A and B are shown apart, each in its own frame.
Chain A
Amino acid sequence: MSALLEMTGVRKRYGGVQALDGASLTAVRGEVHALLGPNGSGKSTLDKTLAGTVVPDSGEIRIDGAEARIGGPRDAHALGIAAVYQQLSVVGDLTVTQNVVLGLEPARRLGFLDHRAARVRAATALERFAAAFSGRLPLDRPAASLGPGEQQIVEVAKALAREPRVLVLDEATASLHKEQVEVLFEVVRELRAAGVLVVFTSHRLDEVFALCDRATVLRNGRTVATVDLSSTTEDALVQLMVAAPAQTPVETPDAPQGASRHVEAPVSGRTAESGAVALVVRGLTTDRLRDVSFTVRAGEVLGLGGLQGQGQSELLLALFGAARITAGDALLDGKALPLTSPARAARAGVALVPGDRARQGMFASRPIQENLSLASMRRRARLKLALSAAAERRAARSMVERLSIKIGSLNDPVATLSGGNQQKVVIGKWLLDQPRVVLLDDPAKGVDVAAKEEIYAIVRGLAAEGAVVILNSSDNRELTELSDRVLVLFEGAVAEELTAASITENRLVSSALRLAPGETL
């Protein structure tokens, strides 16, 4: 049987990050094909090149043997490709019907909308999912009034209304209830029988085994292997995802910059369990966190691992008072830590280096000086109001030197700096506030290699000075290098705690992946 979809040598670069480095994917008609890989392996980017929301730098895509140029979502649509993402794109104010037919509204003569035809089309697409809506199709309800799972189903129906030949499901089950997942799987099997190719990405491995025929594994933006799932074990799959060279059956890509050399490297150079317990977190619960409890010692680096989006960022935000907490509390040095607002958390000695630097961490248009001063200037101001230009400059200069931030003038907008230096500014503003607890959300993401090492040194330095450091990272190697302990999170709960010698990339990946899905929220 000839391939329906053939992607070869797909490359995509975002700034300093090579998201796809010659990835390939071959799949046939009437197949459910899983796309797997650890964080940052390029699964989502590959999905998006297929759907036309990302245009690759180079590479070839063939559909039915004919070369396809996908320059945007319209091209993908014309080729019969439809995609569903975890992030919802339903328009809340429109009805379910309007959402499903969005972009392919049936028109009558003179361009008037044919309401009846639209309803029929939406009903046809949604009918198969009737069970997921407890029997009644909410055709005329605004989409916003549906639950998150139901909205996700509407997304799938919207994709199906386009009668695709290729359907991409990228973490499309994440917000579904068990019953809804079953309904979706039933529909996917029908599609398979009808000859549709379904490309399926999920962090729940049991779903992959239950639904998919074959799997393609990506690592560091390259395709590692394509395996037949009926003759593969979970263990073998996990091995493929963590770069364990000896056991990789297919050609091993030449290991880039020792990424795989470190895999089994033992824990090194950490001062484990030095200080006394400083931070106690008890039963922290939010929309996306379930009953998270742990303690951290002064001078300890606690890593947060697991697949991305399992509640790590949410946990850091919650500890900084920036999430709505429904239960649980935290103690710092025996005193209750205020978790009601970032301003109060900051004054209690907590610092957060957020995951999205541009949107949450820095003031692109403002001078480096202000960016550095902002978190701590109240300490230097007279009457909490009057600033001394000289004192602020001295403080900023000291941080520029301490972190060796490469700048022209303190008065330049921070946007003129490179990514690594911008991140150092974001970290530096907190160091001036001498925090007791430092929360770092993927601090080395998207910065170049040299800056990465410098940021690691800063993290180690903070711990050496006795701060409590909690580090979320999408890079398992980073976790093995920096953490004294790692909490692996899965769907908002602590799934496993790894200590000392058990913190290896291998353990991190298998721990992140091999869990059965917990009861859905």
Chain B
Amino acid sequence: MSAPTVEAPRRALAWRPGPVALAGAVAVVLVIAGELVSPGFAGYGQLVNLMRVAAFLSVIAIGQTIVIIAGGGGVDLSVGKVATFAAIIGSRVMAGDDANIVPAVALALLVAAAIGLVNGLGVTLLRIPPFVMTLGMIGVVQGLILAYTGGQASGRAAPALTSLVNGRIVFDLPGLLFLWLLLGLLAVWLLRRTTFGWNLYAVGANRAAAELTGVRAGRTLILAYVLSATFAGLAGILLLGYTESVFLDLADQYMLPSVAAVVIGGTLLAGGIGGYAGTAVGAIVLTVLQGLLTTLDIGGAWRTIVNGVVLLVLLSLYGRQRRLRS
């Protein structure tokens, strides 16, 4: 009987391109393809524009990343609606006046956080599957929006907010990109350098083990949904600054792309593995792809099909990655 000795962790030494690198490569390839098909696609101004579009998706997807890492089928389908609602509240309270920015943003984020809290409580205490809970929440928030606006959004962004988002301060880059960078760093810090982040990964990787390690899993999950809604609210405020006035479905279309960005970024839908850098790259891939398809003047139906195919191709490339999970 040979005693099994320590097997060296050899697999970890062999470098394979991770999902983040793969997605990054895809983004670069798409940009090059765009430039070849339509010269000027990769011009400075164009790229900055693409990045600006990517920023909104990317900020919404911060919360989505957190919720998906938490595992247990975690997903927040209500992010788009919550962002819309936050923008609507912000617009009405600001009413175009800089003096109202702080109460407007505070109220919008508070309402968003409250919606997230209800999501979190529903998922943990009532054990409603996240998919169902947050899908239902879309309807509830839609109702709240109608009740709040009476079907007609009002107010407008404060000038200071607009110049913060659109104004070009350094290198002729819009302020939005710096805000994105700031929020991105905050997200990475939350996930990598806080007890919350490490608890979150633990709960996502193995909830039973997390609880038997003294992690308050329920509390961690609730906080994940609160954060998701709050970041969605922030994205709504940024959108408000960009568009200056709101409409009733301002950010609704971000729902599925936010999930797609997370998945393209290599975060496992099963939870416990992933991070925000990947999500940011994923958002860029999706945005560049959209830009390319628009440039090629491909019809809406085909655009959707190509989108889906790219997603499938990327995910099948990641397939090998998953075997490590036991």
A375:B12 contact, CB within 8 angstroms: no
A53 contacts the other chain (CB 8 A) = no
Partner of B326, one of A364, A411, A421: A364
B194:A448 contact, CB within 8 angstroms: no
Residue interface mask A72-89, B partner, CB < 8 A = 1:
000000000000000000
The B1-45 residues at the A interface (CB cut-off 8 A) are 1, 3-9, 11-13
B6:A374 contact, CB within 8 angstroms: no
A373 contacts the other chain (CB 8 A) = yes
Residue of B nearest to A15 (CB): B4
B216 contacts the other chain (CB 8 A) = yes
A322:B195 contact, CB within 8 angstroms: no
B214:A359 contact, CB within 8 angstroms: no
Interface segment, A223-231, A259-267, A341-349?
Answer: A341-349
A494 to B77, CA, bound (A): 52
A322-B212, A359-B206 known; A370 and B12 CB under 8 Å? no
Cβ–Cβ < 8 Å partners of B196 in chain A: 385
Partner of A413, one of B7, B12, B193: B12
Cβ–Cβ < 8 Å partners of B13 in chain A: 408
A365 contacts the other chain (CB 8 A) = yes
Residue of B nearest to A368 (CB): B9
B3:A449 contact, CB within 8 angstroms: yes
Cβ–Cβ < 8 Å partners of B8 in chain A: 408
Residue of A nearest to B272 (CB): A365
A370 to B214, CA, bound (A): 14
Cβ–Cβ < 8 Å partners of B212 in chain A: 320, 322, 342, 352, 354, 360-361
B325 contacts the other chain (CB 8 A) = yes
A364-B206, A386-B193, A416-B11 known; A374 and B198 CB under 8 Å? yes
B205:A386 contact, CB within 8 angstroms: no
Interface segment, A172-180, A283-291, A376-384, A472-480?
Answer: A376-384
Cβ–Cβ < 8 Å partners of B193 in chain A: 386-387, 389
A407-B9, A415-B326, A448-B5 known; A364 and B205 CB under 8 Å? yes
B157 contacts the other chain (CB 8 A) = no
Residue interface mask A113-133, B partner, CB < 8 A = 1:
000000000000000000000
A362:B206 contact, CB within 8 angstroms: yes
A458 contacts the other chain (CB 8 A) = no
Partner of B6, one of A320, A373, A421: A421
B208:A360 contact, CB within 8 angstroms: yes
Expressed in whole angstroms, the minimum distance between the Cβ of B209 and any Cβ of chain A is 5
A324 contacts the other chain (CB 8 A) = no
A322-B211, A366-B201 known; A387 and B195 CB under 8 Å? yes
Cβ–Cβ < 8 Å partners of A386 in chain B: 193-194
B3:A16 contact, CB within 8 angstroms: yes
A417:B202 contact, CB within 8 angstroms: no
A456 contacts the other chain (CB 8 A) = no
B209:A375 contact, CB within 8 angstroms: no
A272 contacts the other chain (CB 8 A) = no
A365:B4 contact, CB within 8 angstroms: no
Expressed in whole angstroms, the minimum distance between the Cβ of B111 and any Cβ of chain A is 25
Cβ–Cβ < 8 Å partners of A377 in chain B: 195, 198
A409 contacts the other chain (CB 8 A) = yes
A359-B206, A374-B202 known; A16 and B9 CB under 8 Å? no
A412 contacts the other chain (CB 8 A) = yes
Expressed in whole angstroms, the minimum distance between the Cβ of A491 and any Cβ of chain B is 25
Expressed in whole angstroms, the minimum distance between the Cβ of B117 and any Cβ of chain A is 19
A364 to B205, CA, bound (A): 7
A305 to B8, CA, bound (A): 35
A322-B211, A363-B206 known; A412 and B9 CB under 8 Å? yes
Residue of A nearest to B194 (CB): A385
Q: State the main secondary structure of chain B at its contact with A.
A: loop
B324 contacts the other chain (CB 8 A) = yes
A418:B214 contact, CB within 8 angstroms: no
Partner of A343, one of B11, B201, B215: B215
B195:A365 contact, CB within 8 angstroms: no
**Chain A interface size range:** 35 or more
Partner of A366, one of B195, B205, B214, B216: B205
B91 contacts the other chain (CB 8 A) = no
B195:A412 contact, CB within 8 angstroms: no
A29 contacts the other chain (CB 8 A) = no
A510 to B112, CA, bound (A): 64
B199 contacts the other chain (CB 8 A) = yes
Expressed in whole angstroms, the minimum distance between the Cβ of B307 and any Cβ of chain A is 29
A202 contacts the other chain (CB 8 A) = no
Expressed in whole angstroms, the minimum distance between the Cβ of B116 and any Cβ of chain A is 19
Residue interface mask A10-53, B partner, CB < 8 A = 1:
00000110100000000000000000000000000000000000
Expressed in whole angstroms, the minimum distance between the Cβ of B90 and any Cβ of chain A is 28
A358-B326, A363-B205 known; A418 and B198 CB under 8 Å? no
Residue of A nearest to B273 (CB): A365
A429 contacts the other chain (CB 8 A) = yes
A375:B214 contact, CB within 8 angstroms: yes
Which residue among B195, B196, B208, B213 has the maximum number of chain A CB atoms within 10 Å of its CB?
B213
B6:A16 contact, CB within 8 angstroms: no
B198:A342 contact, CB within 8 angstroms: no
Residue of A nearest to B197 (CB): A387
B195:A378 contact, CB within 8 angstroms: yes
The B137-174 residues at the A interface (CB cut-off 8 A) are none
Cβ–Cβ < 8 Å partners of A354 in chain B: 209, 212
A418 to B1, CA, bound (A): 17
Expressed in whole angstroms, the minimum distance between the Cβ of A387 and any Cβ of chain B is 5
A374-B213, A381-B195, A387-B195 known; A416 and B201 CB under 8 Å? no
A18:B198 contact, CB within 8 angstroms: no
Cβ–Cβ < 8 Å partners of B210 in chain A: 363, 374
A378 to B199, CA, bound (A): 10
A363-B206, A374-B202 known; A416 and B12 CB under 8 Å? yes
Partner of B1, one of A18, A341, A417: A18
A360-B209, A363-B201 known; A418 and B194 CB under 8 Å? no
A409:B12 contact, CB within 8 angstroms: yes
A365 to B325, CA, bound (A): 6
The B273-326 residues at the A interface (CB cut-off 8 A) are 273, 324-326
A394 contacts the other chain (CB 8 A) = no
The B89-116 residues at the A interface (CB cut-off 8 A) are none
A450 contacts the other chain (CB 8 A) = yes
A342:B214 contact, CB within 8 angstroms: yes
Partner of A418, one of B6, B195, B205: B6
The B172-218 residues at the A interface (CB cut-off 8 A) are 193-196, 198-199, 201-202, 205-206, 208-216
Question: Can you pick out 12 interface pairs between chain A and chain B where the beta carbons lie within 8 Å of each other?
Answer: A345-B214, A360-B212, A364-B205, A365-B273, A366-B202, A377-B195, A377-B198, A378-B195, A384-B195, A385-B194, A387-B193, A416-B12
Closest 8 CB pairs of A and B: A346-B214, A416-B9, A363-B205, A408-B9, A412-B12, A406-B6, A16-B4, A448-B3
12 further A-B pairs in the complex, CB-CB below 8 A; given A374-B202, A417-B9, A450-B3: A343-B216, A346-B214, A354-B209, A358-B326, A359-B206, A360-B209, A361-B209, A370-B198, A386-B193, A386-B194, A409-B9, A415-B324
Give B residues with C-beta under 8 Å from A: 1, 3-9, 11-13, 193-196, 198-199, 201-202, 205-206, 208-216, 272-273, 324-326
